[in-house]
Structure 1
């Protein structure tokens, strides 16, 4: 893709982006994208479209159309729209096609192209933060929009046997079929309870966020031989991550995945290479 120039998008000085989701008021993505744009010499405006804050939220398709018509260069998409947004796009990039979920939409030449940057973001973060961790048996909680990207990332990082729990049986069954087709059906299964002993627990549900508080796994079952990973980052350390650390577990939150997916999204939006270190510094700088 040709690198971004504001003039090419018909906006002399500004790149306009947005995020569509439910309960996204604490998202750090706007700051990361705006600061990275500034570092590359152009102004970026990043707006949130939080359906939780809307009295009468428009239909997803209408919201996507409206932003395109208003000159946006693209959108990020998060819970609970990563799968549904596919119906409003013209084409999918390879990762989005493979996973069936979209978290980045680029508007170019009257076409809407969907991408998935969650897979790379999670996979890279897990590889770094969990290097050397035992991963023979892992339990994944959640099979929604981010769930397949997380599952693929776990398999890419050497998980031998993955169990998937989701109260929506059809969703979990679909995820298991997709993972099995790519990595082997003997390496993944759906479980109806969270009983059992595992080397690690991965939370790919929204439980633990400010919008959906709680702990998705019984903390009394945690022990110091396990690892715990949570894809959520607001709060930066969820109740699950805090409980895991208190139990002596090796634990990681969603910061690395958030930054990793944002780095890749910036590339899709602009055709330019973002700095992971700079984006992480922006991300962490919002704590105060």
Structure 2
């Protein structure tokens, strides 16, 4: 594993900090530009690379992928689909958020050890706090129970959601997430649902944490008629920024929360973990919004 030289503000690093994003089909990500903008603002020498399994031939086993990237001198990794859960058992230590959520989206490689974190949790919490501060939170429907969905679920229950309905196309994934939530928050705060129309009818808010709506997977994650004007609707997809779900919800008069907030704030927390520096959030936001 790499022996990281972490660059702090005001120091002259011996070499650039080498960070990567590990995932599949990530060519459209805005994450590198945000990190590089923050590093430039802080005066840090910083490289950010995409490690895309659709572009580069990688080993099949996640353990072999991590070993390869460590050998290539990476000091840290952001991790996205389909590796967030796969890398979890490969960490030497886990943050409480990563342990609770059961997924890792940030890996710090330092002093021969792998530290796994989950910044999606705080990223969504901060986005919700700032973007929909007055949203009612008695009953909420969460669509998608994967790595990002797990982080959102924990953030919602931490934010005071009384009853969380969880739906995933893979019933077992939803069952496993609800079991984790029961263990952490006590029983009856979350439930698996299969009737999306009924769950939406009972909910005040709807959140899409599935990949449906991404540029490579367009569409709605639930029937259009299930969305009502009194709902608030959030999406964690940010490519495109205006997903079909958000456009449909806006047209019906719903309050909406785009995926840009979670994308920004998870990157803010990850940058601090990689560098030890507080990033310039405004510069990171400008970088995010510079995409056309």
TM-score where L is the length of structure 1: 0.93
Structure 1 Cα separation of the partners of residues 25 and 163 of structure 2: 33
| Alignment counterpart, residue 238 of structure 1, candidates 234, 239, 243 | 243
Residue in 2 aligned with 1:278? 283
Deviation track 1:108-160 (CA, whole Å, cap 9, x = no partner) reads 01111111101000011111111112222111001101111100111122211
Residue in 1 aligned with 2:274? 269
Structure 1 Cα separation of the partners of residues 156 and 41 of structure 2: 33
- Greater RCO (CA < 8 Å, at least 6 residues apart): 2
Q: CA deviation at 1:11?
A: 6.6
Q: Indicate yes or no: 2:101 matched with 1:99.
A: yes
List alignment gaps of at least 5 residues for structure 1.
none
| Alignment counterpart, residue 252 of structure 2, candidates 247, 255, 260 | 247
| Alignment counterpart, residue 228 of structure 1, candidates 233, 236, 240 | 233
* Helix, strand or coil at the partner of 2:289: helix
Residue in 2 aligned with 1:87? 89
Give runs of aligned pairs for residues 127-138 of structure 1, distance below 5 A: 127-138=129-140
Residue in 1 aligned with 2:263? 258
| Alignment counterpart, residue 36 of structure 2, candidates 34, 39, 42 | 34
Residue in 1 aligned with 2:63? 61
Larger deviation, residues 126-135 vs 31-40: 126-135
* Helix, strand or coil at the partner of 1:237: coil
Structure 2 Cα separation of the partners of residues 231 and 63 of structure 1: 27
* Helix, strand or coil at the partner of 1:186: coil
Tell me, yes or no, if the aligned pair for 2:197 and 2:223 is still in contact at 8 Å: no
Residue in 1 aligned with 2:27? 25
Structure 1 Cα separation of the partners of residues 235 and 29 of structure 2: 16
Tell me, yes or no, if the aligned pair for 1:21 and 1:81 is still in contact at 8 Å: yes
* Helix, strand or coil at the partner of 1:202: strand
Q: Identify if the C-alpha distance between structure 1 residues 258 and 3 changes in structure 2 by more than 3 Å, giving closer, same or farther.
A: farther
Tell me, yes or no, if the aligned pair for 2:6 and 2:13 is still in contact at 8 Å: no
Deviation track 1:172-219 (CA, whole Å, cap 9, x = no partner) reads 111111112222312210011202112111011111112222211111
Structure 1 Cα separation of the partners of residues 286 and 121 of structure 2: 22
Tell me, yes or no, if the aligned pair for 1:150 and 1:204 is still in contact at 8 Å: yes
Larger deviation, residues 100-109 vs 272-281: 272-281
* Helix, strand or coil at the partner of 1:45: strand
Structure 2 Cα separation of the partners of residues 155 and 94 of structure 1: 15
| Alignment counterpart, residue 15 of structure 1, candidates 14, 17, 23 | 17
Larger deviation, residues 140-149 vs 216-225: 216-225
List alignment gaps of at least 5 residues for structure 2.
none
